[in-house]
Amino acid sequence: MADALIVAARRTPIGTAGRRLAGMTAAELAATVLRAAADDVGAVPAEVVLGNCMGPGGDVARVAALTAGLPVAVPAITVDRQCASGLAAIELGARLVSAGSGPVLAGGVESASTAPWRFWPPQGDGPPVRYERAPFAPAGEDVAMGLAADLLAQERGVTRQRQDAYAAESHARAVLAAARGEFADEIVPVDGICADERPRAGLTAERLARFPAAFREGGSVTVGNSCGINDGAAAVGIVPGSAPDATGRPGLRVIGAASVGVAPGRPGIGLVPAVHAALAEAGLGVEDLDVIEFNEAFAGQVLACYDALGIDPSRACTGGGALALGHPWGASGAVLVVRLFTQLVRQGRGRYGLAAIAAGGGQGTALVVEACR
C-alpha cells in the first residue's frame, strides 16, 4: 500500500449523545468533514468510503456525499466493522488507491443521538421487541462489551487503581491539548461548536475511585473509567503518492494495515494481533513508533492491550483518547488517524505512527503510517 498517501484529515468536535450535536443526523455530521477533506485534497474523489454502526441504513456514505455537495457521479459505500468501522474504511480506501483508483475520501461517522430505534419482529401474537444493538456473535458467545472489558482486565491483572489513574490522565491530557490549541486545525466547526464536549478538568483518580462497578458485582470497570456515548465524524483524503501533483506534498504514507478476528468473548484484545500484523507489513517494531493512538473504549481494556504489546502507556494518546474525547463508534477509528495526522504532519513530531482499535464481535484493525514532509 506504499502508494496511498493521506493528505487531508479533519474531524468534527465530539459531542455527548443527547447534547450539543444531538440535532445533527449521521449524514449531516459526515457531510461536514467530507466537504472539508475534499477542499483540502483539491480534487474530486473517485470514491467515498465511510464507516457507521448505528445509523438509519440507506447507505449513509452516499447520503453524506450528496449532502456534502460532491458530484452525483461519485459513488459511496458504507462499512460496518462496528467500533473499527472508521479505521477499516480508511484501510479499504488506502487499498483502493494503491490498486489504481483516483483520490478517495474515507472515514467514519456516528450519531448516537439520532440512531433509530430497532425492533425484532413479533413472534406469534407477541409485540415487537426493541433492542439496543444487533448481536455481535452467535447466541451464547455474545458478551456485552462492558462485561467483556471487565473480565479481560481481571484476567490480565489490570487493577482498578491503574484504570482510574489512566482515565484521569486521559482527561488531563485532553484538557491540556485543547488549551494549547492542538485540536484547532483538525476540527471543523459544526453550528459554531468547535470544541470537544466531554473532557473534564480536575478529574482525579481519587474522584473516579468513588464510582461503583458498572457491569458486574466486584468488578473494576465503571462509568468513570469507560468511554462515553458520543456523536461525531472524521474523514481523510487519500491520493496516489506517485501522482505528479502529490510529489512533495506533506502527508502520511500508509505502509502497513491489517484487520483480524479474535474470540468474540474478549473483543477488546482484538487490536493486539492487528497491530502485530500491521507492524510486520511495515517492517517496524513498537520501539520504532513516534506516535501511538489506540482507541480507549475502557481503561482496563486498553491497558491490557498496552501490556500485551509492551507499550508504555505514557507514549500513547498523548493528547487524550476516547476516555476523555469520546467514542462515536463508527467514527472513532478515523479520529485516531486524524490525531496521527495532526501530530506527525501538522506538528512534525516524528516519522512513524500507529492507530489501532478493537471491535465488538472479536475484531481489531490497525494502520501504520510514515510521515512525508
Q: Report the sign of the C-alpha dihedral through residues 281, 282, 283, 284, in that order.
A: negative
pLDDT at residue 251 is higher than 90: yes
Facing residues of 230 across strands?
16
Q: Report the sign of the C-alpha dihedral through residues 359, 273, 347, 181, in that order.
A: positive
Rounded to whole angstroms, how far apart are CA atoms 5 and 166?
33
Per DSSP, the residues of 114-163 read TPPPEEEPP-TTSPPEEESS--SSSTTT---HHHHHHHHHHHTT--HHHH
Q: Report the sign of the C-alpha dihedral through residues 220, 224, 225, 229, in that order.
A: positive
Would you call 305 a catalytic residue per the annotation?
no
- Mean pLDDT of all residues belonging to the chain: 97
Would you call 171 a catalytic residue per the annotation?
no
Q: Which of 53, 83, 305, 372 is catalytic?
A: 83
- Range 348-366 average pLDDT: 98
Per CATH, domain 4-114+227-372 is 3.40.47.10: yes
Residues with Cβ within 8 Å of residue 145, at least 6 apart in sequence:
267, 268, 297, 298, 360
3-state SS, residue 226: strand
- Range 337-342 average pLDDT: 98
192-250 pLDDT, tens digit each:
999 999 999 999 999 999 999 999 999 999 999 999 999 999 999 999 988 777 778 99
Residue type at position 230: N
Q: Which of 171, 305, 327, 372 is catalytic?
A: 327
Report in angstroms the alpha-carbon separations of 305 from 154, 208, 260, 353.
Answer: 13, 22, 15, 17
Predicted local distance difference test score (pLDDT) of residue 246? 73
3-state SS, residue 81: strand
10-19 pLDDT, tens digit each:
999 999 999 9
31-49 pLDDT, tens digit each:
999 999 999 999 999 999 9
- Range 181-195 average pLDDT: 97
Rounded to whole angstroms, how far apart are CA atoms 360 and 218?
23
pLDDT at residue 27 is higher than 80: yes
Predicted local distance difference test score (pLDDT) of residue 243? 78
pLDDT at residue 359 is higher than 90: yes
